Every structure is written in C-alpha cells, then in structure tokens.
C-alpha cells in the first residue's frame, strides 16, 4: 500500500495529461511536465494510492474542491464524520457566533460554519452492512486530484467475499462556472457476481463544527430549524439557518439513474434511494447534482426556493463537466506558470488551492482572506494578516479579486475606527482576527495541547495587521493603476490607519524619539516582558518601521490627490495641517532599537536569555512550537531570544533592499549591507519556524542576502502542506498564505519585480535550483504579459492591444516594450552585451 502522494517517503506526483485519458488509463495528453498544455490546461495531477486512515484528514484537505464561493473537503461520500473522516462544506463569509464555558470563563467564538453535507452516497448488498473502507476489505483504493479540470476522481475495489468484488469509480466537481452547483458521478461495476445493489443519497443537516480536536470544548451546533422535503420523484431539498447570524441556507439534490427512485426523508436528512441491478462486468451510473444557496447571495428571494429552481434547471453531469472544464482552462491561462520539476508540480497544486479559495467569483462577495482557505475549520475560518502574502499575487492576475478583498476591509473601516476610540486612540485599529462584521475575534484564552492548560491569549495586540491592510492598498494601486479606488476607498483606509499609528506614538525625551508601546510583533511568541504584570512590548522594529512607511505613503498620496477629492476627504475626517505636520515628524522619528550591531526585534530584546537550542532539539526533536514546550515545563518563551517566525526579517520581505535602506535613512539610520547580513544571521539562529510562513520569508530574504542557503527554506515552504510539516495541522485546513506566498516568491521575489512609478521594475536573483521559469501577468490593462527567465536572459512579451507601452526598468537600464513586441534582456550575470531593446513582434 503506497504512502501518501508526495509526503515523506512517497514518490512525487506524476505529470500526466487531460482528465479523460487519465481516467481511462490512456497516455499522457498534451503539455510537458511543468508547462500548460493545449487549451491552457496544466499537466499535473495529485495522486494517492491505498487507504491509510491516519492520512485521511490530510488527503481530505488537499483534495478539497471549491470555486471561490464554496468548497467541499475531499471526504469519501460513503463515510460519515468520525475520528478518521471529516466531510465539510463551507461558504465564504458564512459565520455564526456561539458562547461557550471555557476554564471557568464565558467566551464567544465566531466560526465559519460547516454547512449541511451534500456528499452522502452509500451502498450495500441487500441485507448487508453499508460498505466503507473501515467496514469492508479494500482491495484497491486510489484518489486522483485532477488540477487541470478541478475534479476529484476516486476508484475503490471492495472485496465482498467468495471472489465477488464491487468496483466504485467516482468523479466529483464543485462547479467553477456556476458557483452554486456541485456534482458527483458514481459508477458501480460488479466483478464476479450479479445481483441488486442498494444505493442511498442524502443531504445531511445533522453536521456540527467538529473538525479541530482542540476546539471540542467549544459550542459547535451552528445549524438550527432544519427541515426537509421533496420536489419531484428525483429531487429532495433541505433548509436550515445558522443559530445566531440567522443566515438561511437552502440545498437541493437531484439523483439521475436508470432505475426507479424513492424518497425517505427524516428529521435532519433528505434521502433518495434506489436499487441497481448489477451484472458482472457491466457498469451502472448514478449522478447526484446539488445546488446550494444562502441568504447572503445576491439576486435571489428565498434561498431554498432558489436552490430548488437552480437544480431543476441544471443540465446533466456531462454538460456540467464541460462548462466546468472550460472555466478552469480560462483560469489556468490567466495564471500560466512554467516552473520545471518537482517545484513546479507543487506550485501548481498551491495555485490550484488559491484559485479554489479566491476565484473571480470572489469579486462579487463581501469576504476577506481566510487563513486556512475554505478547506477546514482551523482558526475558525477567520481573516488574519495572510492577505499580505496573498494579494500581491492576485494583484497581477485578478486585480478585481484584490479590490473586492480590500473592500471587505473598507466596509469594516467604521468598526476599526470604533475599536481605536475604545482604547482612546484616533484613526482605525483593525482586528488581528476578523470575521463577519470586523470586530476583534481573537480568542481570550487558548489551549496548549501539550500541557492541557487554557491560557490567556494576548494576540489581539498584533495591531500590525492594519499596516498589512495599508500595504496592500498601496501595492494594489501601483500594480493595477486603479486611481478611482486609490483616491476614494483606498485613501480613506490609508488616512485612518496612518492616523492611528501617529496617535499611538508617544515622545520620549531621553531617546529624542517617538515610541509605540504595548504591542506584539509578527513573531507571536513574545507577548510580554519577563516578569511584567501585563502584556505588550515596546518598539517592535517591524511595527515601527512599517508604520513610518505607511505615514510617508499616506502623505504622498494626499499630496497627489485631486484638489476637490482632497478637500472632501479632509472635511469628512477633520484632517488639518497640524496633524499632517505631526505625521511627517513621526514618520522620521520613530524609534528603531538595536543591540550588538543588529536590529532588535523590540526594545529590551537584547537583554533576554539565550536558549539552549541544541539541548531542546535533542530532548524534543521537533521544536517548532517551542512556546508550548516551554509552557508545559513551567517556563515561558518570553524569557528568551527565540522567535516563532520572521519578525524583523519581515522588513526584507515587504521592501526591496533599496526601499528598506531609504526607510532606515528616513528614520535616521544607515542600514548598510553588513548590518542587514548580521541581522539576518542573528535571527536565523534563533527562529523555530513554528509557522508555515516562516520558511517563505526566510527563503525570500536569503535569496538576496545569502543565496546558497535560500533553497532549503523554499523547499520547506513548498513541502509545508503536502508533507504536513507542522504536525497534523493541514488536515484542519491548508495554509493559504504560505501557498500564495510560494507563487509570489517566483513571481516577485526571485524576479525582483516591483510595480511603482507606472513601471515594472525587475532585478532578478535566480537561484541555482530555480533559474529558468516563466509566468503570465496582468498589468494595468495588459492581459497575458509573459516573463521568461532563462540562462541569464529575461524575455518580456507584451500581447497586442491598444494599451500604452510598458516601461521595464532594470538596475542598469530601462526599455519600453510596445504591445505586440518581445524584448530580450541579457542580465548582468549573463554573457554578452545587454540587448538594446525590443526584438520585434512575437
């Protein structure tokens, strides 16, 4: 029995061709490994051989199918939720709030709701038990995730005794063209026997949010008012609502088979049944098509009626598959990524999951970036700062999606301003965890599974999340050229975020500097000083430097706003010249602490104790969650120079070397290469990498600071979810920020791509392990701009259009590429003189 696909000790997924050839055992179709084939299809599938109960949760997450509006985990349809299997369906933005008793405290938690399960389809011989891989001999089992088509194929051969075998083949899709539909085709083939097979399909409203073991002490019954009914002989429906948010949910299912269908609805389930006569060697097919609506959907009346109407009008499986494939082909063309080898295969899996979570359908929704995708219940489906790692990729492919995600933040600007007022500040303080309405959703207590203790949680002090919002507003404007958004909603967010940080800064006469006190940085380990009576740290370097950048960019934007718009904005917000002068002063005088010739993570960091890193690795092996280990020992990570993930080094992720030097100069410091290199080395030796984002940031930074070591961290991030390097967390949902970040590493990190001053700036740093690759971008009205880096040459192709030429800037030259032209540039490390400019059409 094979191990999980591409996990530890398992072979890498094979490159193969289109879905039909694969499913029928044919040869690989068009498209070489690492390149899109005809019709824009990618040439990769992700395959799992054998049934391994311990791996099911991981497989279910990685085999999730979605369309940006809703997603369903890759659970087997004949299996109910238990300790092995966890079917889950999640609609973007569908949250519900419940109250629980935790360690003697009443706590509220708002969760992304696990909606009624549309998957159930079980089968058995008359009088026998229902078949499942946990109750019957499994002779063969294979699951194949077809990235090209966005479909999940499954084949299982059940042994029935006496030489009898039942072969199950299923194809599943969550429709990418019609975001309210999903479908499941099941093919039954008898081997060595003939007889009846009982089949039961259902919509199950008895589900709960029970996908994360450490949340099991929390209330989880989000669905109420479940009712079921029929709409014809082949169709059943289920309606319900969420308990406190009162989101109404309507689901309808249609069963298609060449056999009589009966109904048997229960209190919480809508059921369709049929009996299939099987003949040895002959295949019988059952199609289940499902429609899902909620009261959050536009242009509908009653969700249940909308679902019944939609299922009645839905075409058959073959037609659905055709339009679904066409939609995926378009997505692959718009995000064409040509990276060879194993890295390319994993990157396409990452791209697949990003597109399933944040597709063009997302542009019509009021949703943020869920840190764990729509793939599970970890982090309760909340929105953190992960958009910082996601939007830069989307900006250059789906700017309309980036804009929608920023509008999610803008709609909650008033709530952020109210949060700032509640602590006596002006401006906008965005929450570390956000969900439906933008209030702070961070838990007040969290469980350490190692010690079993519920502990105070101070993560709400990670107020740098607002800086991430501002960063994305600015970068979106630079890459899209969307001046309407920048001058309106973008300007309003930037102004209020800048106002908050300027108001948070206090003057210190001793230092002659402004300081920002009582916060947490991205590290997350440190939330207080050793022995302090309360939480919070002073002068987190990442926070202070990034706040200075936000203040400077906001002042720059205000200077360039059209006068009528600037007047509107200042009148509405009460902004005056005195406040602007304060912003200017704070942007130049925020304190950046140093110790031993390196940038300090926060004031006082240099006085912390050194940890015995070799000793802890010998004792525990995996020390990624060092905070939990130390707490279980009765110690605290606050005492040590130890970081969970990049904190100071995040500055090297957000800003190019030139921009970072300019920022420090603005703050009165010379950041030379030696200081930065010492800083990188210092934190590399003191980071446990307890986040999937850690390897990404370190790989990005090392690509410029110490190229030879970068690939180790890039590989760690590429393997993060497929190998579940965080020890069981991927089964609770993928890590969307890390997945999107690996794509952006290729797109911007290794190319040195920046979008600023209405130009594409490029400063490539190809790694030896990844020196030749290509990609397609959408930039300021230009669709399908093609960049290819190969053997010391950079090729830029701009498709024909009526748009203006694109200015390309390299460190040593600038060229202008007209639509319809290709420009080949020899890079400084390459051979031969620089290419003079465009080489002509094509």
- Catalytic residues, by residue number, are 524
Question: Could you tell me which residues come within 8 angstroms of residue 815 by beta carbon, excluding any fewer than 6 positions away?
Answer: 807, 808, 823, 825, 837, 838
User: At 387, is the secondary structure helix, strand, or coil?
Assistant: helix
User: At 681, is the secondary structure helix, strand, or coil?
Assistant: helix
Residues 493, 410 contacting (CB under 8 angstroms): yes
Distances (CA, A) of 333 to 21, 42, 98, 142, 831: 21, 9, 43, 29, 32
Tokens of 111: 């969760």
User: At 756, is the secondary structure helix, strand, or coil?
Assistant: strand
Phi, psi angles (nearest 5°) of residue 29: -90, -160
Cβ atoms < 10 Å from Cβ of 401: 23
Q: Report how far residue 434's alpha carbon sits from residue 384's, in angstroms, rounded to the nearest whole number.
A: 7
Of 387, 363, 394, 404, residue with least CA distance to 479: 394
Q: What does the angle CA 118 – CA 120 – CA 124 come to, to the nearest 5 degrees?
A: 160
Q: Tell me, what DSSP letter sits at residue 659? A: H
Residues 41, 332 contacting (CB under 8 angstroms): yes
Q: Report how far residue 191's alpha carbon sits from residue 183's, in angstroms, rounded to the nearest whole number.
A: 26
Strands (E), 208-315: 223-230, 235-242, 248-257, 261-263, 269-278, 283-294
* H or E element in which residue 841 lies: strand 838-841
Q: Report how far residue 789's alpha carbon sits from residue 766's, in angstroms, rounded to the nearest whole number.
A: 8
Find the distance separating the first CA and the last CA of the chain, reported in whole Å: 50
Q: Any alpha helices (H) in 233-340, and if so which ranges?
A: 303-313, 317-334
Of 477, 503, 665, 486, residue with least CA distance to 558: 486
Q: Parallel, antiparallel, or unpaired: how do β-strands 759-761 and 806-810 relate? A: parallel
Q: Report how far residue 248's alpha carbon sits from residue 819's, in angstroms, rounded to the nearest whole number.
A: 49
Phi, psi angles (nearest 5°) of residue 274: -155, 165
Q: Report how far residue 768's alpha carbon sits from residue 789's, in angstroms, rounded to the nearest whole number.
A: 12
Residues 265, 271 contacting (CB under 8 angstroms): yes
Q: Report how far residue 131's alpha carbon sits from residue 129's, in angstroms, rounded to the nearest whole number.
A: 6
Tokens of 79: 């299996």
Work out the burial of residue 813: count CB atoms within 10 Å of its CB; fewer than 13 is exposed, 13-18 middle, 19 or more buried.
middle
**HEC sequence for 732-747:** HCCCHHHHHHHHHHHH
Question: Could you tell me which residues come within 8 angstroms of residue 291 by beta carbon, excluding any fewer than 6 positions away?
Answer: 180, 181, 251, 252, 253, 306, 307, 308, 310, 311, 314
Of 699, 731, 4, residue with least CA distance to 343: 699
Q: Report how far residue 109's alpha carbon sits from residue 33's, in angstroms, rounded to the nearest whole number.
A: 45
Distances (CA, A) of 184 to 250, 317, 321, 530: 19, 8, 10, 56
Q: Report how far residue 612's alpha carbon sits from residue 83's, in angstroms, rounded to the nearest whole number.
A: 37
């Amino acid at each position: 029995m094979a191990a999980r696909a591409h996990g530890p000790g398992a072979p890498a997924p094979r490159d193969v061709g289109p879905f039909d050839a694969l499913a029928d055992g044919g040869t690989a179709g068009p498209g070489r490994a690492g390149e899109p084939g005809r019709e824009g299809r990618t040439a990769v599938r992700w395959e799992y051989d054998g049934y391994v109960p311990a791996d099911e949760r991981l497989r279910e997450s990685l085999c999730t199918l979605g369309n940006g509006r809703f997603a369903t985990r890759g659970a087997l349809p004949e299996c109910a939720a238990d300790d092995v299997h966890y079917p889950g369906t999640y609609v973007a933005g569908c949250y519900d709030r419940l109250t629980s008793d935790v360690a003697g405290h009443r706590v509220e938690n708002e969760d992304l709701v696990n909606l009624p399960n549309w998957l159930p389809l079980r089968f058995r011989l008359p009088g026998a038990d229902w078949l499942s891989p946990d109750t019957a001999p499994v002779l063969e089992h294979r699951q194949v995730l077809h990235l090209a088509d966005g479909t999940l194929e499954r084949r299982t051969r059940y042994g029935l005794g006496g030489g009898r075998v039942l072969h199950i083949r299923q194809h599943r899709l969550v429709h990418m063209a019609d975001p309210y539909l999903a479908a499941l085709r099941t093919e039954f083939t008898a081997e060595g026997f003939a007889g009846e097979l009982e089949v039961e399909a259902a919509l199950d409203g008895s589900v709960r949010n029970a996908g994360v073991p450490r949340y099991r002490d929390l209330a989880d019954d989000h669905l109420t008012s479940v009712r079921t009914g029929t709409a014809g002989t082949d169709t059943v429906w289920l309606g319900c609502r969420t308990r406190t948010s009162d989101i109404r949910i309507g689901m309808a299912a249609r069963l298609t088979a060449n056999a009589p269908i009966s109904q048997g609805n229960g209190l919480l389930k809508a059921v369709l049944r049929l009996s299939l006569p099987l003949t040895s060697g002959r295949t019988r097919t059952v199609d289940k098509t499902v429609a899902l609506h909620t009261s959050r959907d536009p242009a509908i009346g009653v969700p249940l009626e909308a679902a019944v109407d939609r299922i009645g009008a839905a075409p058959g499986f073959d037609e659905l598959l055709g339009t679904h494939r066409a939609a995926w082909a378009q997505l692959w063309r718009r995000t064409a990524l040509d990276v060879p080898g194993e890295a390319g295969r994993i990157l396409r899996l990452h791209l697949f999951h990003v597109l399933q979570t944040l597709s063009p359908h997302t542009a019509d929704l009021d949703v943020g970036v869920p840190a764990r995708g729509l793939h599970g219940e970890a982090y309760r489906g909340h929105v953190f700062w992960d958009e910082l790692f996601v939007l830069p990729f989307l900006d250059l492919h789906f700017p309309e999606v980036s804009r929608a995600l920023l509008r999610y933040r803008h709609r909650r600007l008033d709530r952020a301003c109210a949060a700032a007022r509640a602590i006596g500040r002006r401006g906008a303080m965005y929450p570390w965890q956000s969900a439906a309405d933008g209030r702070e959703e961070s838990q007040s207590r969290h469980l350490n599974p190692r010690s079993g203790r519920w502990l105070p949680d101070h993560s709400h002090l990670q107020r740098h999340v607002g800086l991430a919002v501002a960063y994305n507003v600015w970068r979106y404007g630079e890459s899209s050229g969307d001046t309407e958004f920048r001058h309106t909603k973008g300007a309003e967010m930037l102004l209020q975020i800048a106002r908050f940080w300027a108001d948070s800064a206090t003057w210190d006469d001793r230092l002659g500097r402004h300081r920002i006190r009582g916060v947490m940085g991205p590290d997350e380990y440190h939330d207080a000083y050793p022995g302090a009576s309360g939480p919070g740290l002073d002068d987190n370097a990442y926070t202070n430097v990034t706040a200075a950048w936000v203040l400077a960019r906001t002042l720059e934007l205000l200077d360039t706003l059209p006068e009528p718009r600037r007047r509107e904005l200042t009148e509405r917000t009460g902004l005056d010249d005195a406040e602007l002068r304060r912003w200017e002063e704070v942007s130049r005088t925020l304190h950046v602490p140093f110790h031993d010739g390196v940038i300090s993570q926060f004031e006082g960091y240099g006085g912390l104790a050194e940890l015995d890193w070799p000793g802890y690795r010998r004792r525990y092996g995996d020390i990624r969650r060092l905070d939990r280990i130390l707490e279980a020992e009765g110690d605290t990570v606050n005492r040590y120079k130890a970081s969970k993930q990049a904190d100071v080094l995040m500055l090297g992720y957000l800003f190019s070397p030139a921009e970072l030097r300019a920022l420090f100069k603005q703050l009165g410091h010379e950041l030379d290469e030696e200081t930065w290199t010492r800083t990188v080395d210092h934190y590399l030796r003191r980071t446990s990498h307890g986040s999937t984002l850690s390897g990404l940031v370190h790989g990005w930074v090392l690509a410029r600071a110490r190229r030879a070591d970068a690939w180790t961290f890039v590989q760690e991030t590429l393997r993060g979810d497929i190998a579940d390097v965080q020890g069981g967390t991927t089964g609770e949902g993928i890590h969307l920020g890390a997945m999107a970040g690996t794509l952006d590493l290729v797109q911007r990190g290794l190319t040195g791509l920046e979008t600023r001053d209405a130009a594409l700036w490029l400063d490539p740093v190809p790694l030896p392990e990844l020196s030749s690759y290509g990609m397609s971008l959408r930039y300021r009205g230009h669709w399908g701009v093609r960049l290819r880096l190969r053997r010391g040459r950079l090729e830029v192709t701009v498709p024909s259009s009526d748009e203006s030429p694109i200015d390309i800037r390299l460190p040593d030259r600038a060229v202008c590429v007209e639509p319809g032209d290709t420009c080949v540039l020899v890079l400084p490390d390459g051979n031969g003189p620089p290419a003079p400019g465009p080489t002509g059409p094509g």
